[in-house]
């Protein structure tokens, strides 16, 4: 199963004294990083800036605040740091230019919602396990107030930030998923990896179907070994697809009695697809396609002769014996 690739954005707020430590980490001014063993200083030469700091973080923060005419208290938030990254799987096999493009898009996203002039630094770290960008800015609002609360907001606003970030990034990187489950965010998007997994499952189904074509009591035993090998990966794939479809709210059938009515249901689904293309949403169309393909993948199991199923159940192919119906 292909692992999910998540777009990740996190905020952190800083009042003042700790800003110097944040700068030391981000700008790699230390020789050693005992508190962060993930830093490989031999690779620090590959780090790069998208926005270079004009000076010390704290000094630049105070300059902007004073220029805006804002009053501050001891507990005022003087700097916000946004961390941008993605799950490790996303970066695997990507060239440095592709990684740079990812973070440039993240920077463009923030610039759409926060004045460029407030950004102190945007530096990408390539010397840790997963590439990531530290983007620091002064939380000045459009009307010149110092208010991290207005910019970051409450939990609802933070969810909005996550949603908007994912919407922005997925346009250029369609394999990325929202960092929270669909059930929590309420989004309708079905990630591309679900369709990729269904494509793989369909290819496996086609191989199984080829082996089952023309099978009879006289040749069943000779084909059993090859069928069993396919079932070793096919059944887990069906189970995982079951889980994915449930996660993304796709309605589908799974019982043996329902699968016997598959031909009728497929005809109905074809009609529904035709109707959906005219009056429904993209999600409904996607749901119908996934449901039809999944039903077809399950139905093929009913074509396996009993003698082959018995061989599979008794062989070493199965780590744990259980009826095939329970695998679905």
**pLDDT recorded at residue 313:** 79
Q: Output the CA torsion sign for 254, 257, 263, 269.
A: negative
Q: What is residue 280's predicted lDDT score, i.e. its pLDDT?
A: 44
Higher pLDDT, 292 or 317: 292
For 172, residues 6+ apart whose C-beta sits below 8 A from its C-beta are: 101, 105
- pLDDT top residue among 106 and 233: 106
Query: 9: part of which helix (H) or strand (E)?
Result: strand 5-14
Structure confidence at residue 127 (pLDDT): 92
Residue 187 pLDDT greater than 90, yes or no: no
Whole-number Å distance between alpha carbons of 298 and 239? 10
Please tell me the distance from the alpha carbon of residue 118 to that of residue 65, in angstroms, as a whole number.
10
Tokens of 170: 């997925």
Distances (CA, A) of 69 to 38, 63, 143: 41, 10, 11
Q: Where are the alpha helices (DSSP H) in 132-219?
A: 148-152, 155-170, 182-185, 192-212
Torsion of CA 30, 125, 162, 166, to 10 degrees: 170
Tallying the residues shown for the chain, one arrives at 328
Partner residues linked to 12 by β-bridges: 81
What's the confidence (pLDDT) of residue 284?
59
pLDDT in tens, 205-243: 888 888 888 888 778 888 888 888 888 888 888 888 887
Residue 62 has pLDDT above 60, yes or no: yes
At 35 the pLDDT is 58
pLDDT at residue 257, rounded to an integer = 43
Percent share of the chain, pLDDT over 70: 75
Domains of the chain: 5-185 (3.30.930.30), 192-327 (no CATH)
CA distance 184 to 33: 37
User: Hunting for tokens 């009056």 — which residue is that?
Assistant: 279
State yes or no: pLDDT of 316 exceeds 70. no
Q: Is the pLDDT of residue 51 over 50?
A: yes
Say how many C-beta atoms besides its own lie within 10 A of residue 308's C-beta. 21
pLDDT band per the 50, 70, 90 thresholds, residue 255: very low
Segment among 23-32, 171-180, 222-231, 276-285 with least mean pLDDT: 276-285
Q: What is the mean pLDDT of residues 121-146?
A: 95
Instruction: Look at residue 203 in the predicted model and tell me its pLDDT.
Output: 87
* CA neighbours closer than 13 Å in the CB half-sphere of residue 286: 17
Say whether pTM exceeds 0.75.
no
- Average pLDDT over the chain, rounded to whole? 80
pLDDT at 249: 64
């Amino acid at each position: 199963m292909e692992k999910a690739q998540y777009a990740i954005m996190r905020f952190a707020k800083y009042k003042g004294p700790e800003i110097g430590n944040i700068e030391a980490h981000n700008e790699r001014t230390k020789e050693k990083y005992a508190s962060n063993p993930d830093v490989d200083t031999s690779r620090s030469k590959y780090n790069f800036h998208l926005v270079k700091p004009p000076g010390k973080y704290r000094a630049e923060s105070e300059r902007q605040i004073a220029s805006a005419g804002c009053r501050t208290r001891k507990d005022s938030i003087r700097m916000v740091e946004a961390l941008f990254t993605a799950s490790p799987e996303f970066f695997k096999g990507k060239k440095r230019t592709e990684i740079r493009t990812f973070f440039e898009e993240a920077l463009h996203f923030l610039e759409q919602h926060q004045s460029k002039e407030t950004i102190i630094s945007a530096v990408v770290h390539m010397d840790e396990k997963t590439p990531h960008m530290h983007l620091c800015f002064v939380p000045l609002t459009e009307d010149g107030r110092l208010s991290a609360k207005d910019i970051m907001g409450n939990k609802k606003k933070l969810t909005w930030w996550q949603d908007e970030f994912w919407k922005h990034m997925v346009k250029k990187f369609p394999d990325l998923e929202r960092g929270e489950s669909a059930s929590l965010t309420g989004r309708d998007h079905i990630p591309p990896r679900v369709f990729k997994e269904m494509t793989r499952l369909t290819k496996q189904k086609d191989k199984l179907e080829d082996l089952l074509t023309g099978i009879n009591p006289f040749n069943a035993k000779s084909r059993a070994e090859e069928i069993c090998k396919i079932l070793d990966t096919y059944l887990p794939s069906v189970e995982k697809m079951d889980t994915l479809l449930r996660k993304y709210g796709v309605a589908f059938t799974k019982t043996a009695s329902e699968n016997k009515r598959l031909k009728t249901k497929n005809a109905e689904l074809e009609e529904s697809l035709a109707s959906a293309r005219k009056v429904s949403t993209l999600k409904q169309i996607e749901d119908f396609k996934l449901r039809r393909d999944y039903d077809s993948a399950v139905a093929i199991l009913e074509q396996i002769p009993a003698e082959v199923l018995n061989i599979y159940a008794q062989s070493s192919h199965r780590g744990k014996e259980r009826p095939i119906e329970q695998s679905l």
